[in-house]
Amino acid sequence: MAKRIIISGGGTGGHIFPAIAIANALKKVNPDIEILFVGANGKMEMEKVPAAGYQIIGLDIQGFQRDNLLKNVLLPLKVIKSVTKALGIIKDFKPDAVVGVGGYASGPLLYAAHLKKIPTLIQEQNSYAGITNKFLAKKARKICVAFDNMHAFFPADKIIKTGNPVRKETINIEGKREEAAQFFELDPVQKTVLVLGGSLGAKTLNDSLTAGIESFKKENIQVIWQTGKYYYRSIIEKFGNQPKDNGVRILEFLNRMDYAYAMADVIISRAGAGTISELCLVKKPVVLVPSPNVAEDHQTKNAMALVIEHAAVLVADRHAEAELVDQTIKLLKDDAEMQQLSKNISALALPEADEVIAKEVLSIIKNG
């Protein structure tokens, strides 16, 4: 009889894409495995998961709102309602195991699985575990992590360092620089900076580039600038559509991340766990500007895990507008430092995370 697995979580691409990668890896091991996703209504997983070919059920759940405490009034009721619905999903689907990847829906679903004595596995992407995963870890069979020293949050005997699953197509960049240069209409020889603000965008990165773009031009450094959805219109209104010969490409989204990575000599990015896992596999020098607007400042902790290995440069968010562009130009002029950063970040890569996690999921089923 085919095994049945629920994968729960979402809220951001950093949770959803690893979840889909795990599902794909499970299907690769055994195409007969039945997989059901459980997400949060209104979040991006409700669109992205069906697009990847999987069924998803939504829970009416939200996270704790730190910026507006009044929004938390109904939270206890939503949690109870979500746990109740999760119990119903488990009763109907009869999973052999449940995987939690983080996000609002992960808590109620894993808690319901524990109540029903169904084995669970947690995939913790960050270097600093959140409250929910620390609580759920007590009864989880396995905890798959991407960073060292996670025994500070979880029982050491349950931890397996697997890395974070990434989208394989985005890191397949070998030999693509010429293609990438044609795609972006840039010079394949000229030094190029890639700026990643995420799908929605990062205000600090956009403000820093707005303030410093002329410095890049003066140094004949090309820029691929991904603004994100929230900021694209205002930035294009300021700079206009960029002519072919000015070396700057301003884009809302990057539909070909492989080309963007292939073209980059240095990458400027936030420090989300999934992004860091991709950057380790891309093996390019990176300048990280951690977002301060995340729980427990976990992006700074993610970035520091690289910095202490001399595998990345860190610029604090509050200093970015004044320092980011100058620091990046300085790095681009130091070939030895760029080579060292590339070597060190590549040493941290864990390329088969999705397959390793899939095997661990099947092992907790086999061992009961």
Residues 81-132: pLDDT tens digits? Answer: 999 999 999 999 999 999 999 888 899 999 999 999 999 999 999 888 888 8
Q: What percent of the chain has pLDDT over 70?
A: 95
Whole-angstrom distance, CA of residue 362 vs CA of residue 368? 10
Q: Is 198 annotated as a binding residue?
A: no
- Assess whether 149 and 201 both reside in one domain: no
Domain count for the chain = 2
Whole-angstrom distance, CA of residue 140 vs CA of residue 364? 10
- Enclosing domain of residue 318: 169-346
- Assess whether 39 and 147 both reside in one domain: yes
Mean pLDDT, residues 159-178: 94
- Assess whether 205 and 57 both reside in one domain: no
Q: What percent of the chain has pLDDT over 90?
A: 75
- Assess whether 136 and 10 both reside in one domain: yes
- Residue 45 in contact with residue 36, Cβ under 8 Å? no
Whole-angstrom distance, CA of residue 149 vs CA of residue 84? 35
- Assess whether 157 and 179 both reside in one domain: no
- Assess whether 362 and 333 both reside in one domain: no
- Assess whether 237 and 317 both reside in one domain: yes
CATH of the domain at 29: 3.40.50.2000
- Assess whether 193 and 283 both reside in one domain: yes
- Residue 186 in contact with residue 247, Cβ under 8 Å? yes
Token pair belonging to 187: 């010079």
Enter the pTM of the model: 0.87
Residue 12: predicted pLDDT: 76
Q: Is 182 annotated as a binding residue?
A: no
Query: How far is the CA of 120 from the CAs of 132, 144, 265, 311, in angstroms?
Result: 14, 11, 41, 33
- Assess whether 146 and 219 both reside in one domain: no
Residue 201: predicted pLDDT: 75
- Assess whether 321 and 208 both reside in one domain: yes
Q: Is 299 annotated as a binding residue?
A: yes
- Choose among 128, 171, 331: nearest CA to 258: 171
Q: What is the DSSP string of 274-331?
A: HHHHHHHHHT--EEE---SSSGGGHHHHHHHHHHTTT--EE--GGGHHHHHHHHHHHH
Encode burial over 264-289: b for 16+ CB neighbours within 10 A, e otherwise. bbbbbbbbbbbbbbbbbbbbbbbbbb
* Residue whose tokens read 């003066």: 218
* Residue whose tokens read 């002029």: 333
Q: Is 167 annotated as a binding residue?
A: yes
- Assess whether 206 and 153 both reside in one domain: no
Please say if the pLDDT value at position 67 is more than 60.
no
Q: Is 12 annotated as a binding residue?
A: yes
Residue 132: predicted pLDDT: 85
Mean pLDDT, residues 327-346: 98
Token pair belonging to 170: 């985005």
What is the sign, positive or negative, of the torsion defined by CA atoms of 72, 76, 82, 85?
A: negative
Mean pLDDT, residues 38-67: 85
Residue 347: predicted pLDDT: 96
- The beta strands (E) that lie in the chain are given as 4-8, 34-40, 55-59, 97-100, 120-124, 142-145, 159-161, 192-196, 222-226, 248-251, 266-269, 286-288, 313-314
Q: Is 210 annotated as a binding residue?
A: no
- Assess whether 128 and 19 both reside in one domain: yes
